[in-house]
Chains A and B, each alone.
Chain A
């Protein structure tokens, strides 16, 4: 395996996996919360929130990346605040790549969770309340277990999307080998040099393999969980 990939290529693969993993994990609680708010609550500005969540899906990724740079860059309002108070720097670091990937994958995650939430019969939640469960308990013991397939599907989808994120990432954190050069950025770099096609191809194959594996895994896990909670 190490012969198949050169150390820098290997680095890009590992970095992509790391970025995608953290992007998925950290956006999951917020994704569930936002999906719940959109599916269940009526509040002022619901359509605005819905629009904001979906914006990265339709904006040119370079615009999302630029907006992230403006906000979270070292001169950006939030970026400055994070650096001054917590010493966290996102711009041109792998953490920034994770943020960009999370933002880009967020709509897919929220959609998957929201769909499964809308499929939960509120009558089951009412039944739980009559049995003495307060709202937070209903959420923990009835709602969350029932939407688990959607949460898993959303998480894996977000992971796969994060693996493939390119536009916003390269705009926000650039393409620094070993720092912010993810799999797609590495492919892009290879294609910029003459004769790089062969190198690019190996990474393309890995990309396809990871994406397919993620999709199949997501299908399989959701189906297994769905079977478990279908009551059979």
Chain B
């Protein structure tokens, strides 16, 4: 299933004017606060009526202002997971998740048990939302949205109200959802770490306009996107398979670029993980460094050197089929004479690779 969105709307001195397509998987809408992300999601849900636009899911039209079509929210069948959960306080968890399913006419009743298991909320079914932790609330909200049998899931910063511990509690459930259901998911976030972990497609938004859009790995390793993510959050993602857990507490992961050693990851040998390497954690050397404490040294070729406003440059490197980004100072770039085509070695400290929890990804994708 694919969703196509084309919207234009004005509120005061802010205007929204964008078009994008969301293929199956997680499409992340990324942009700073006030970029217009929530307005896009609300327009898709029918909670905001844009001045003009067209939205369709697999050819079924939800909105077409040119033809005066605007399907009301309750008939759109889009599951919406809000930032604050919005569970019904007067209903139990069981009644909350039954709510959408009931209006969907009990389609797919057998799903309920599977989704309750998938979200790990079997133990809290008879409790009321007021007694749940933030993470539990969001998992219930997810289950409720999925069980309304939507054609598409909308998630508006579903993790931003949670602290880091709760975030890492919910993230694996989102990954399982992405990998185990065929639903397209539109995921709004201003956290680069979240989208690096979840997104299959990324749409960058600023001031109501699209800056860049494409497959996650491509956008994250594009130096041109560096300005949107910011110097501390820019980083490429690699897909790697867990090859071994060593006795000294490290795990070996095989990426196309070569072997990487990380502090022991919570995954089985053979699992495929998505790891994010922040540009600021990558050092470059012309010769293969010897006698160095960093464990991960990947031979690479420079593809692009992009200067930004600050004292640093972003260097895009390829190693086999993988692409990584490195942020180095202009001075170092000049000293090494970094230019496209140059062969270099990227040095990555093992501990910095594992700074975020590596994300799980099904090998089938």
Residues in chain A within 8 A of chain B (CB atoms):
121, 123-124, 126-135, 137, 141-142, 145-146, 228-232
Contacts and interface: CB of A to CB of B under 8 A. Distances in A.
Given A142-B88, A230-B89, A130 B131 contact: no
A130 B99 contact: no
Contacts of A124: 86, 88-89
A127 B128 contact: no
Contacts of A231: 87, 89-90, 128-131
Given A130-B80, A132-B100, A134-B72, 7 more contacts: A129-B73, A130-B145, A131-B145, A137-B74, A142-B88, A230-B89, A232-B131
A127 to B, nearest CB: 4
A230 B128 CA distance: 9
B129 A127 contact: no
Contact of B103 (A121, A131, A135, A230): A131
List of 4 A-B pairs having minimum Cβ-Cβ separation, nearest first? A231-B130, A132-B103, A231-B89, A131-B100
Of the candidates A124, A132, A230, A232, the one having the most CB atoms from chain B within 10 angstroms of its own CB is A132
A130 B79 contact: yes
A134 B84 CA distance: 22
Given A141-B99, A232-B130, A232-B131, A132 B74 contact: yes
B86 A123 contact: yes
A221 to B, nearest CB: 15
Contacts of B100: 131-132
A45 B129 CA distance: 40
A228 B47 CA distance: 29
B207 interface: no
Nearest to A141: B99
A129 B73 CA distance: 6
Contacts of B129: 231
Contact of A133 (B45, B74, B87, B144): B74
B46 to A, nearest CB: 8
Contacts of B82: 123, 127
Contacts, number: 74
B189 interface: no
A132 B98 CA distance: 12
Contacts of A141: 99
A231 B100 CA distance: 18
B316 interface: no
Nearest to B85: A127
19 contacts: A127-B80, A127-B82, A127-B86, A128-B88, A130-B45, A130-B74, A130-B79, A130-B148, A131-B74, A132-B148, A133-B99, A137-B103, A228-B90, A230-B89, A231-B89, A231-B128, A231-B129, A232-B128, A232-B130
A129 B90 contact: no
Interface of B: 45-47, 72-80, 82, 84, 86-90, 99-100, 103-104, 128-131, 144-145, 148
Given A132-B77, A230-B130, A146 B84 contact: no
Identify which of A128, A131, A141, A142 gathers the most chain B CB atoms within 10 Å of its CB: A131
Contacts of B74: 129-135, 137
Contacts of B72: 129, 134
A130 B78 contact: yes
A131 B90 contact: no
B161 to A, nearest CB: 13
Q: Which of A127, A130, A141, A230 neighbours the largest number of chain B CB atoms within 10 Å of its CB?
A: A130
Nearest to B47: A126
A134 B102 CA distance: 12
Contacts of A135: 74
Q: Which of B46, B84, B100, B144 has the most CB of A within 10 A?
A: B100
Nearest to B78: A130
A121 B89 CA distance: 11
A145 B77 contact: no
Contacts of A121: 86
Nearest to A130: B80
A133 B73 CA distance: 9
Nearest to B137: A231
A131 B84 contact: no
A173 to B, nearest CB: 41
Given A126-B47, A231-B131, A133 B88 contact: no
User: Which one of A127, A133, A146, A228 has the highest number of Cβ atoms from chain B below 10 Å of its Cβ?
Assistant: A127
Contacts of A230: 89, 130
B75 to A, nearest CB: 8
Contacts of A142: 88
Contact of A229 (B75, B90, B144): B90
Nearest to B128: A231
Nearest to B42: A126
A132 B75 CA distance: 6
A221 B143 CA distance: 33
A145 B103 contact: no
A229 B89 contact: yes
